[in-house]
Amino acid sequence: MDEGFEILEKAERYRGYAHVFQYRFRHRLFAGGWSQEISREVFERGHAAAVLPYDPDADAVVLIEQFRIGACAAGFAPWQIEIVAGIVEEGDAVEEVARREAVEEAGAAIGALIPICRYLVSPGVASESVALYCGRVDSRGLGGIHGLAEEHEDIRVEVVPWPSALAQLEAGSITNAVAIIALQWLALNRERVREDWR
């Protein structure tokens, strides 16, 4: 079957926290015919699940903050304001990863889950996708420092009233895609979510 592309070779170039593969490929051109052979490295570390914990009664979200070396390397603030997320290992149910990570990273038990979207993080160089959810949570008593020592996690948890979270988003204080997408989704859907979870 002609899928419009052809993988000529896939070779592992690095194996560590992530894997790097070199692909040789060609694809059909919009103008007709085929491209020349192209060589690209692809960063592969699996797929992730992420959840924005939202308390409709308090009208607040649970945000986390942790050190990110990639942000540092890119010239951004290395302590990133984020939402809960984790890698989906083989055999894991995606929704269960979102629930488990909420407990590990924020001490939060997630109730109802609403799927937001599944998106590619950076398809030009990485195979990673994120399954993104909004999860109902009771935010009373949440906060403090969380994370797993064996995963070198040092995560600060904060319950943020919705107007403050929206102000941070609008001010550009939040600079990672998963948190931006989740908060923008909630800005568009908050009234409906509050009504549904009433």
Distance of CA 77 to the CA centre of its chain: 18
47-196 has which CATH code? 3.90.79.10
Condensed to tens digits (0 to 9), the pLDDT of residues 116-151 reads: 999 999 999 999 999 999 999 999 999 999 988 888
Output the pTM of the full model: 0.93
pLDDT above 70 (res 182) = yes
Tens-digit pLDDT profile for residues 157-175: 999 999 999 999 999 999 9
Share of residues in the chain with pLDDT > 90 (%)? 93
CB 103 within 8 A of CB 109: yes
- Torsions phi, psi of 128, nearest 5? -65, 135
Domain boundaries defined on the chain? 5-44, 47-196
Measured CA distances, 97 to 84, 91, 92, 101 (Å): 10, 11, 7, 6
Strands in 28-83 per DSSP E: 38-44, 47-55, 60-67, 79-82
**Residues catalogued as catalytic:** 151
Q: Are residues 48 and 130 in contact, defined by beta-carbon separation less than 8 angstroms?
A: yes
Distance CA 194, CA 198 (A): 6
- Amino acid, single-letter form, for residue 28: R
